[in-house]
């Protein structure tokens, strides 16, 4: 049973959801979603954000009807003790995979843009202890980092005013030039930027009056959608399609044009500042993964966190190169898409039927 002093206010769900969704993807998602819908790809973000709001509603529907209020309890009730534990372990692995994608991608950005000769293991030795310090103790520490991770980098939004000086409206014209199917295909890729909300299935019991916190979850998702939409539209006004096809890190290239009297390379500052968004991103995934395994095996949270971070360390070392990182992103995106839009609705339906049968039988 979670004590009241370990729980946080429902309003913190806004920061938890936002922190889970805004990560390293904000630096280069524009060219990825451009694949199918091109200049209309900004519409795919609206579709993706709306679809994620539906999933949040489904998640709250399951969580609010469960005494324990997390995915481990839902799995046990729905599938039984042993099969439920198996599905929870798979979910924990999925969360760790998302942490791996964020951490390894951020390290690649540091290597490509800032320190080309720095070793992966050296950066990991700096970052891993911070993650452990954040996640091994109380959930409140994770919430505090998430709060700072949302508030502190907010001023970076002002940096997107600079590219507007070179904006060309013709770059996003004609509007609605692509089919519904092409926009939906881009939406399926855009979902990768929203997948972090899966941690809601784990931290829900740590929220005071959790049922009333749903509106903050939706506000968090709305703010994330608005942020991605803003960056996407500005990027599409700045780049034409021939440039967009050859981009990898669209946001970083936008930062390269910024000239300030006291700062020569603003993208360095942006990458460093964004670490305050990357840390809560990874911390949430690692904490939720360790918490899920703790619910299955009963091992101490700190011990599970240490084991998971060791696995994360080794996985980062062996997943090198652009090709390996692209593979990680692709497979994580595919798993996340199936998890959110196939598994969660099916689990909701099965759970609903089990409850109805139990109620009628009782």
- Of 37, 24, 44, 41, nearest to 249 by C-alpha is 24
Q: Mapping DSSP to helix (H, G, I), strand (E, B) and coil, where does residue 263 land?
A: strand
Give the contacts of 173 (CB within 8 A, at least 6 positions apart). 39
Quote the pLDDT of residue 64: 86
Length of the chain in terms of residues written: 362
The answer to whether the CB of 134 falls within 8 A of the CB of 141 is yes
**Could you give the CA distance from residue 20 to residue 247 in angstroms, rounded to a whole number?**
25
Q: On the CB side of 24, how many CA atoms lie within 13 Å of its CA?
A: 20
Joined tokens for residue 201: 């299935």
First to last CA, the chain: 26
The answer to whether the CB of 194 falls within 8 A of the CB of 52 is yes
**Could you give the CA distance from residue 137 to residue 125 in angstroms, rounded to a whole number?**
20
Using left for φ > 0, alpha for ψ between -120 and 50, and beta otherwise, residue 178 falls in beta
Joined tokens for residue 11: 């309003």
Per-residue H/E/C for 158-227: HHHHHHHHHCCHHHHCCCCCCCHHHHHHHHHHHHHHHHHHHHHHHHHHHECCHHHHHHHHHHHHHHHHHH
The answer to whether the CB of 88 falls within 8 A of the CB of 75 is yes
Give the contacts of 92 (CB within 8 A, at least 6 positions apart). 288, 289, 290, 292, 293, 296
Q: Is the pTM of this model over 0.75?
A: yes
Asked: is 4-351 a CATH 1.10.10.10 domain? The reply is no
Q: Mapping DSSP to helix (H, G, I), strand (E, B) and coil, where does residue 65 land?
A: coil
For 254, counting Cβ atoms within 10 Å of its Cβ (0-12 exposed, 13-18 middle, 19+ buried), the class is buried
- Of 102, 147, 107, nearest to 126 by C-alpha is 107
Neighbouring-strand partners of residue 263: 260
Quote the pLDDT of residue 362: 54
Quote the pLDDT of residue 294: 92
Quote the pLDDT of residue 129: 94
Q: Each residue of 3-28: b (16+ CB within 10 Å) or e?
A: eeeebbebebbbbbbbbbbbbbbbbb
Q: Where are the alpha helices (DSSP H) in the chain?
A: 12-21, 29-37, 42-63, 71-79, 81-113, 120-135, 139-151, 180-190, 200-203, 214-238, 241-244, 250-256, 266-297, 301-318, 321-338, 344-361
Query: Each residue's pLDDT tens digit in the chain (362 positions)?
Result: 788 888 999 999 999 999 999 988 899 899 889 888 888 899 999 999 999 999 999 999 999 887 678 999 999 999 999 999 999 999 999 999 999 999 999 999 999 999 999 999 999 999 999 999 999 878 999 999 999 999 999 999 999 989 988 889 888 888 888 888 999 999 988 888 899 999 999 999 999 988 899 999 999 999 999 999 999 999 999 998 888 888 889 899 999 988 888 888 899 999 999 999 999 999 999 999 999 999 999 888 889 999 999 999 999 998 877 778 888 888 998 899 999 999 999 999 998 898 888 777 65
Quote the pLDDT of residue 37: 86
Radius of gyration in angstroms for the set of CA atoms belonging to the chain, rounded to a whole number: 21
């Amino acid at each position: 049973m979670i004590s009241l002093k370990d729980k946080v206010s429902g309003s913190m769900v806004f920061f938890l959801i936002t922190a889970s969704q805004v990560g390293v993807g904000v630096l280069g998602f524009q060219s990825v979603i451009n694949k199918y819908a091109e200049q209309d790809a900004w519409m795919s973000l609206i579709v993706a954000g709306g679809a994620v709001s539906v999933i949040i509603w489904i998640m709250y529907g399951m969580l609010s009807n469960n005494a324990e209020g997390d995915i481990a309890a839902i799995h046990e009730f729905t599938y039984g003790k042993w099969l439920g534990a198996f599905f929870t372990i798979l979910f924990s692995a999925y969360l760790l995979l998302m942490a791996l994608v964020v951490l390894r991608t951020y390290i690649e950005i540091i290597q490509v843009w800032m320190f080309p000769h720095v070793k992966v293991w050296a950066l990991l030795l700096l970052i891993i202890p911070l993650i452990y310090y954040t996640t091994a103790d109380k959930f409140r520490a994770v919430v505090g980092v998430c709060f700072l991770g949302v508030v502190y980098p907010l001023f970076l939004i002002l940096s997107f005013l600079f590219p507007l000086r070179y904006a060309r409206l013709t770059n996003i014209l004609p509007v609605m030039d692509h089919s519904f199917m092409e926009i939906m295909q881009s939406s399926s890729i855009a979902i990768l930027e929203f997948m972090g909300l899966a941690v809601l299935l784990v931290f829900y019991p740590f929220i005071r009056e959790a049922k009333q916190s749903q509106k903050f979850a939706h506000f968090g998702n709305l703010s994330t959608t608005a942020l991605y939409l803003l960056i996407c539209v500005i990027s599409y006004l700045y780049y034409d399609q021939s440039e967009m096809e050859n981009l990898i890190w669209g946001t970083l290239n936008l930062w390269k044009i910024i000239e300030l009297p006291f700062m020569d390379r603003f993208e360095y500052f942006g990458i460093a500042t964004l670490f305050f968004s990357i840390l809560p991103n990874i911390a949430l995934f690692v904490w939720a993964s360790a918490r899920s395994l703790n619910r299955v095996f009963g091992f101490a949270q700190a011990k599970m966190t240490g084991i998971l971070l060791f696995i994360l360390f080794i996985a980062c070392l062996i997943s090198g190169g652009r090709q390996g990182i692209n593979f990680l992103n692709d497979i994580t995106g595919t798993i996340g898409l199936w998890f959110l839009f196939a598994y969660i609705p099916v689990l909701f339906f099965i759970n609903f039927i089990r409850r109805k049968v139990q109620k009628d039988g009782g």
